[in-house]
């Protein structure tokens, strides 16, 4: 039988099954490091849902910044994710600036005015999902220039596709990460995003962001032949983003269509195919 999961592995499997699946394709010695990074990201993702006002969320992000600062001085906080993250930073000599950049990216989720435009959303996705891929490259020891560039584009693909897929659920909770200017231009209200089937305005908004993500996917494909094999586990979430984009196009850019998620076996195959062939 396989050994029991660590606390970070269990958190990742529960809160982010996509990244848990991708981490399983890493070499065994690197998996725990990827579990730790993923659990850290899951903790950041929960901040907005856990607070009633943005200022409280900013305080929680500051706490994580202090975790990183403490780790750089050999101090580790007793916490199921913060302690293993701090020890990982210290043991691998991770650049604290890379970790802090992932934390800073989450501030966009707390902005009361929302993300302003598609360029801002693109920056957010590349900094959050792409920043996590960049950290994964560091723990895998695969930080070639092509791999670092691929992480930024792959993160944009996965992040933007995930935002589109989650849009109806977030809207039902009274939130959205979709660009406010684009929503206004298309006459789309928050309540419209939660409706199924989606109206034409929602489909047009979805198409704009999906095509932005597809442009990053095209750049990623051009980079992947130059990326070393050992870097692939860091980039595997991009395969799931590409799959989501294909399915969105197939259903006419309706993010609430159940066919966008599709069977879990299909997601597993998409990750396995990229792990084996290097192509999303």
pLDDT at 240: 98
* CA neighbours closer than 13 Å in the CB half-sphere of residue 156: 24
Whole-angstrom Cα distance, residue 85 to residue 151? 20
Please report the pLDDT score of residue 113 as a whole number.
Answer: 87
Residue ranges of domains in the chain, CATH in brackets: 1-112 (no CATH), 114-280 (1.10.600.10)
Q: Which candidate, 137, 79, 135, 75, places its Cα nearest to that of 105?
A: 135
Check: pTM over 0.85? Answer yes or no.
yes
pLDDT digits (tens, 9 = 90+) for 211-269: 999 999 999 999 999 999 999 999 999 999 999 999 999 999 999 999 999 999 999 99
Banded model confidence at residue 2, pLDDT cuts 50, 70, 90: low
Taking only the tens place, the pLDDT of each residue in 266-276 is: 999 999 999 99
CB 189 within 8 A of CB 199: no
> Directed axis angle between helix 96-105 and helix 118-140, to 10°?
150
Categorise residue 176: left if φ over 0, alpha if ψ from -120 to 50, beta otherwise: beta
Is pLDDT above 90 for 202? yes
Distance CA 148, CA 78 (A): 32
């Amino acid at each position: 039988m396989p050994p029991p999961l660590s606390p970070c592995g269990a958190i990742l499997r529960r809160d982010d099954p996509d990244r848990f699946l991708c981490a399983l394709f890493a070499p065994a010695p690197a998996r725990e490091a990827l579990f730790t990074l993923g659990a850290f990201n899951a903790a950041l993702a929960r901040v907005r849902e856990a607070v009633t006002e943005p200022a409280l969320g900013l305080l929680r992000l500051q706490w994580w910044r202090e975790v990183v600062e403490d780790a750089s001085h050999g101090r580790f906080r007793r916490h199921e994710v913060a302690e293993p993250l701090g020890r990982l930073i210290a043991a691998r000599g991770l650049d604290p600036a890379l970790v802090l950049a992932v934390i800073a990216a989450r501030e966009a989720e707390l902005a009361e005015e929302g993300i302003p435009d598609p360029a801002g959303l693109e920056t957010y996705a590349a900094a959050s999902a792409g920043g996590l891929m960049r950290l994964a490259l560091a723990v895998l020891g695969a930080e070639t220039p092509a791999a670092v560039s691929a992480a930024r584009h792959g993160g944009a693909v996965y992040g933007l596709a995930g935002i589109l897929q989650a849009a109806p659920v977030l809207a039902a909770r009274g939130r959205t990460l979709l660009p406010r200017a684009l929503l206004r231009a298309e006459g789309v209200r928050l309540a419209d995003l939660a409706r199924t089937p989606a109206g034409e305005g929602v489909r047009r908004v979805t198409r704009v962001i999906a095509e932005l993500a597809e442009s990053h996917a095209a750049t990623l494909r051009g980079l992947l032949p130059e990326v070393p094999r050992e870097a692939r586990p860091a980039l595997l979430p991009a395969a799931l983003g590409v799959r989501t984009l294909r399915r969105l196009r197939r259903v006419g850019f309706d993010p609430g269509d159940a066919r966008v998620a599709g069977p879990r076996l299909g997601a597993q195959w998409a990750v396995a195919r990229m792990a084996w062939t290097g192509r999303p």
